[in-house]
Amino acid sequence: MGAVGALALSLGVWAWGHHTGGHQAEANGKKGAMTSAGVAIGLGAANGIVAFFSALGSQVR
């Protein structure tokens, strides 16, 4: 939920910076949007990553 909120806030800052000509705000909004999107992807893939390494670890003898 936090990643979705951060993404929405960052997209708002990005849009506000773009429309007002605030290049620093636009850059910070873009950076925040990319970071929060990456976090959301990582959280979504966490189950598959853990399952992969668990299966790999069970093969060690």
pLDDT in tens, 31-47: 999 999 999 999 999 99
Q: Print the domain residue range for 38.
A: 2-58
Domains: count for the chain: 1
Give the separation between CA 7 and CA 1, rounded to whole angstroms. Answer: 10
What residues contact residue 18 under an 8 Å CB cut-off, 6+ apart?
26
pLDDT for residue 60: 83
Question: DSSP of 1-61, one letter per residue?
Answer: -HHHHHHHHHHHHHHHHHHHT-HHHHHHHHHHHHHHHHHHHHHHHHHHHHHHHHHHHHT--
Give the separation between CA 42 and CA 53, rounded to whole angstroms. Answer: 15
Report the predicted TM-score, pTM, of the whole model to 2 decimal places: 0.72
